Structure 1
């Protein structure tokens, strides 16, 4: 299978607990998990803090005492997210990244989520990811993940087009609410248009020469934890991780400079910032792969063209994703509005980025 991920031998096993944590009444279920994971904790003294009502899952931090030295994160899957996320692949990705020092410790899985180690630090905002000190750390950490070797020299294939096709097949044709349905029909391109764009992208982008590597695929600002004391960054949330085009992962991250709740594409990194970022990335990637670290102008320019074209595919992918969420998610978020923003940006940027040419 194209997106097969092999967990390295000797990786610690992850216990699966037969517990369901209700999204609205989560304390009881979380306590049952903690009785297994932290049996010495007194249930009456456990503090639970909702870290994020994210736009896919619910995340709760559990700890005792005043200091947050030992925090167990309980992540509850969002409604119908199994349509969008392969949970077995997510678990494998998590374990592979953990084995290579790129992820926190995974404590257990349960019926509708899993528990893992809290990473000390601050989740970033769009204003942080354009800071040169921080973006060089991000570029280096992403290079480290991209340099993880596939098992036994197996040559991986991207699962981008498969996933995009699956999402397209799940996009709703109508909404029960008449106002929402009217907005959907008036502001979202027709199925035929979307299908034609998908075919065009697959034909064009598959031939850009971007290597297929293990990718995070969802590197939005809040999925980057910056520890200023240690001077490092770590990435969290591997739901969408898997083998994909190197340039897609970077282009997707650049799109996330615009934010999620209030999207502002004027924050998309300009060419000068991108070239600094890409040079830092290529130097680290070559180092991790054991190559000569020297990076030429041409290599930076080639990656720049690939990244900006694959950024289109990222807009399209998350546009389809948001249309499905608009139908099924119970989270308070304007998914239809987000889908419209992403698809509009796709069509707006298409002429500009397809005009980019590789250096001679």
Structure 2
């Protein structure tokens, strides 16, 4: 269980990337405080661009236009346009990592994924790294919303792209990381102390013995499902997908949690995100909606020819591993409640995810047990 936090060394990683990856990866030791106001951040972003890209080092600051694209609950995304001779020559994206995120995110694992996924044509092209973030090419597309991913046409497109994503080969260990990550989060989450007395009082109502027993039970049962191990995104919420409407092209972005994992988990984790950050699980896809997704995932070219047996298998996998999704992100929420300075109620998020796990536990486990019993009786 658990692992030590690795030291983040952008130059060291960039040098390794140059050996492993076809494109030149630029690097800088500079860091930028993501909590700064945007006016104070802009000149630092320009300085960073000049430090990373030699061809821009002598440009006047007026050549750079910096815009905030989005600010999620772990990252800040910025767009930088570089204008020379009255035309925009280049546009890049800068992703600033949130403070203390290295406590829960393995940046070495992330960048291993980024370089190969980028080479395989997924997401943005990786251009460089710096003290607390990375630089990528700009994707001309808009971010999806939770209501978007429920739409039948978009759901089918996501399923087909996910199938393609799951066929990417990433060098190194192909051990599924789900239970390693859950236990790592469990160890960190179970020994927290909050400065705020009310938060501490709420935290002390949590039974980590109950959570631990639930993890052990779920792992024991789900192992019997033999869900295929594939390279997974592991965080396929609406904000990590973009679409270019004119080209009708879908992009998966943000590979902070990507790793080899169980097929059922990656799909279940995506379905759980239909609920959005508000965790309205009335929006979780029903069986018909799930089958629509499965058909386009299993057989994109002939979705209506998918067998009932294959649909049932994926349905059971998905609706067992959704419990693991709730446990993983509930524990993540506890850690973030302690570590993150971002204005988001992570402690409440823990209870939303954990309470949904408890509500669905009996039904989901019974589904898996019934399915496995059917195999034994054949």
* TM-score between both structures, scaled by the size of structure 1: 0.89
Counterpart for residue 249 of structure 2: 232
Question: CA 1:182–1:67 in 2, change beyond 3 Å: closer, same or farther?
Answer: farther
Contact 1:21 1:28 in 2 (8 A): no
Match of 1:104 among 121, 124, 140: 124
Counterpart for residue 323 of structure 1: 334
338-347 vs 196-205, which moves further = 196-205
In 1, distance between residues paired with 2:219 and 2:65?
48
Secondary structure of the structure 2 residue equivalent to 1:21: coil
Question: CA 1:68–1:274 in 2, change beyond 3 Å: closer, same or farther?
Answer: farther
Counterpart for residue 3 of structure 1: none
Counterpart for residue 190 of structure 1: 207
Deviation sequence 1:58-91 (CA, Å, 0-9, x none) = 2211124699884321111111111111111101
**What is the CA-CA distance between 1:170 and the residue it aligns to?**
0.8
**What is the CA-CA distance between 1:51 and the residue it aligns to?**
1.7
Counterpart for residue 269 of structure 1: 285
Query: Gaps spanning 5+ residues in structure 1: where?
Result: 1-5
What count of residue pairs does the alignment treat as equivalent? 345
In 2, distance between residues paired with 1:91 and 1:173?
29
Q: Indicate whether 1:243 and 2:260 are aligned.
A: yes
Secondary structure of the structure 1 residue equivalent to 2:225: coil
Counterpart for residue 170 of structure 1: 188
Counterpart for residue 28 of structure 1: 43
**What is the CA-CA distance between 1:10 and the residue it aligns to?**
5.1
Deviation sequence 1:276-333 (CA, Å, 0-9, x none) = 101100114xx7xxx9995211101100110111011001000000100000101000
Counterpart for residue 113 of structure 2: 93
Question: Following superposition of structure 1 onto structure 2, how do residues 71-86 of structure 1 map, counting pairs within 5 Å?
Answer: 71-86=91-106
In 2, distance between residues paired with 1:67 and 1:271?
51
Question: Following superposition of structure 1 onto structure 2, how do residues 1-360 of structure 1 map, counting pairs within 5 Å?
Answer: 11-23=22-34, 24=36, 25-35=40-50, 36-37=52-53, 39=56, 42-64=60-82, 70-151=90-171, 156-171=174-189, 172-186=191-205, 189-260=206-277, 262-284=278-300, 295-356=306-367, 357-358=370-371
In 2, distance between residues paired with 1:81 and 1:217?
16
Which of these two proteins has the greater Rg computed from alpha carbons?
Answer: 2
CA RMSD in angstroms, aligned pairs only: 2.5
Question: CA 1:184–1:203 in 2, change beyond 3 Å: closer, same or farther?
Answer: same
Secondary structure of the structure 2 residue equivalent to 1:340: helix
Higher-RCO chain (CA-CA 8 Å, sequence separation at least 6): 1
Question: CA 1:49–1:233 in 2, change beyond 3 Å: closer, same or farther?
Answer: same
